[in-house]
Amino acid sequence: MTKQKYTFPKRFLWGASTSSHQVEGSNYNQWSEWEDTNALSLSKKAIYRLDETPVWDDIKSQAIERDNYISGKAVDHYNRYEKDFDILNQLNMNSYRFSIEWSRLEPREGEWDQKEIDHYHRYFEALKKRKITPVVTLFHWTTPVWFAEKDGFERKANVDYFVRFARKVFAEYGAHLRLVCTLNEPEIYVGKGWLDEDAWPPAKHGSRIGAIKTSLNLISAHKQVFAAARSSSRRIKIGIANNVSNYYAADDSLKTKSAMKLKRYISDDLFVDRIKKHVDWIGVNYYFSNKYLNGKEQNENKRVNDLGWEMLPDNIEHVIMRQWQRYKKPIIITENGVADQGDQYRKWWIAHTIDAIHSAMKRGARVEGYLHWSLLDNFEWSYGKWPRFGLVAVDYKTMERTIRPSAAWFGKVVGNLRKG
Ligand code: BGC
């Protein structure tokens, strides 16, 4: 790939993403509580849950340890953010997506923690100093414990607490805010927390009513935060990060097509359709392609990442086109990446992804940024620490950071593309 081959708009955002709970460390929220209760059983289940992953032999000793499932210090980004932002500069990036941890700002109901508020002030300043545009997520699946104890987003009256938190963020950090993402992948949060067997907090598996109530409350939360942003500043542009897969039918039968379309509607469209008049931009998180054949999902899995997820990076073009045609809003790729401890696929994945984004833009889609998941190796929810999504490898013992070869290459490509 050369700079001659591509031109991207001057203001295109090139960067990487993280979320507080996955990188900062020392969080106390509903997820850390859940880890304490569930880490041991996850470590015991590892053998039958993970033995089919392609890297089982390498990760086994880690995956059967309880400690793998405790976020703990994570990669200590809370204390090392200045150095991590230097890496963004080194990689020629101009943007960074992260979440502000509500449980830090409001550890007890109605009590704001000034020390933590100041921390994020310094954090924003550190980005500004390095000319990095923040993309700020307000909810990346973690909440204060007191909020979870009141039934969190499942209870309508609780939405007010989240809106109050959002207002606080706007009031404190408004000068730094341009791109704000209200919710990260609400449909995944609801699916994992209320429907799936492979439970996440609050682990109410099978509670369809709870899932519906929570979804409706999240829709309302999003709309209210959108209104609060509008009354706070016209500069703030509100988006949502949607986990969008490339669903496709591999045969022409009605059964296959209708199964595929139903799944696609429920997973990709249902939520965003309801808030589409209340967003300025759409965030696309792309990881999956799902092939339908004989009425069922049947992936070929020719090439899979360390988690066993099929890798078809080019299909992001279809996903972008579909989101563009459906919503006609600017798109930011808010997440996209691979679990790849050997760094054997990342460069290939990124090269194909940039290519595909460029094609979609040539076809008319307005894409305004590409934020890779993740800047750093991170705590991967119920899988714990072994999956390696980072452009930057982190040694969990020493916390030493090492730029992976794919990232060094990506940084050069970004440098060239930004020169135009
Ligand atoms: C989530 C991230 C997660 C990534 C990789 C996304 O769905 O937003 O938190 O680490 O996928 O699994």
pLDDT tier at 198 (50, 70, 90 boundaries)? confident
Q: Mean pLDDT over residues 55-76, rounded?
A: 98
Quote the domain boundaries for residue 102.
13-28+72-419
| Residue 184 CA to ligand 1 centre (angstroms) | 9
Indicate whether 67 belongs to any domain. Answer: no
Residue 303 CB: number of other CB atoms within 10 A?
14
Indicate whether 64 belongs to any domain. Answer: no
Indicate whether 49 belongs to any domain. Answer: no
Report residue 221 as tokens. Answer: 């939360």
Indicate whether 6 belongs to any domain. Answer: no
**What one-letter code names the amino acid at 275?**
I
Q: Are 374 and 18 in contact (CB under 8 A)?
A: yes
Indicate whether 77 belongs to any domain. Answer: yes
Give CA–CA dist 230/224, Å, rounded.
10
Query: What torsion do the CA atoms of 338, 340, 346, 352 make, to the nearest 10 degrees?
Result: -40
Q: Verify whether ligand 1 is closer than 6 Å to residue 380 (CB atom).
A: yes
pLDDT tier at 5 (50, 70, 90 boundaries)? confident
Q: Mean pLDDT over residues 33-54, rounded?
A: 96
Report residue 22 as tokens. Answer: 């996955």
Predicted confidence at residue 53, as pLDDT, reads 95
DSSP H stretches of helix in 191-250: 208-232
What values do phi and psi take at 280, rounded to 5?
A: -100, -25
Indicate whether 43 belongs to any domain. Answer: no
Q: How many CA atoms lie within 13 A of 255 on its CB side?
A: 5
Predicted confidence at residue 158, as pLDDT, reads 98
Indicate whether 97 belongs to any domain. Answer: yes
Predicted confidence at residue 3, as pLDDT, reads 46
| Residue 255 CA to ligand 1 centre (angstroms) | 31
Q: Verify whether ligand 1 is closer than 6 Å to residue 19 (CB atom).
A: yes
- For strands 392-394 and 401-403, give the pairing: antiparallel
| Residue 340 CA to ligand 1 centre (angstroms) | 14
Question: Among 148-162, 189-203, 210-224, which stretch is predicted with the lowest mean pLDDT?
Answer: 189-203
Pocket probe for ligand 1: among 309, 376, 380, the residue whose CB has the most ligand atoms within 8 Å is 380
Mean pLDDT over the full length of the chain = 97
Q: Mean pLDDT over residues 235-244, rounded?
A: 98
302 has a pLDDT exceeding 80: yes
| Residue 281 CA to ligand 1 centre (angstroms) | 20
Q: What is the separation of C-alpha 383 from the centre of its chain, rounded to a whole number of angstroms?
A: 15
23 has a pLDDT exceeding 90: yes
- The sign of the dihedral angle between the CA atoms of 249, 253, 258, 259 is negative
Residue 19 CA, closest ligand 1 atom number: 9
Predicted confidence at residue 1, as pLDDT, reads 53
Residue 185 CA, closest ligand 1 atom number: 8
Report residue 191 as tokens. Answer: 């699916």
pLDDT tier at 420 (50, 70, 90 boundaries)? confident
Indicate whether 207 belongs to any domain. Answer: yes
| Residue 301 CA to ligand 1 centre (angstroms) | 20
How far is residue 120 from each of residues 116, 123, 178, measured CA to CA in Å? 7, 5, 16
Pocket probe for ligand 1: among 18, 189, 305, 335, the residue whose CB has the most ligand atoms within 8 Å is 335
Q: Say which residue, 420 or 381, is predicted with more confidence.
A: 381
Q: Mean pLDDT over residues 108-119, rounded?
A: 98
Q: What is the CATH number of the domain that holds 210?
A: 3.20.20.80
> What is the number of structural domains in the chain?
1
Question: Among 4-8, 26-30, 181-185, 235-239, which stretch is predicted with the lowest mean pLDDT?
Answer: 4-8
Predicted confidence at residue 2, as pLDDT, reads 45
Q: Are 133 and 179 in contact (CB under 8 A)?
A: yes
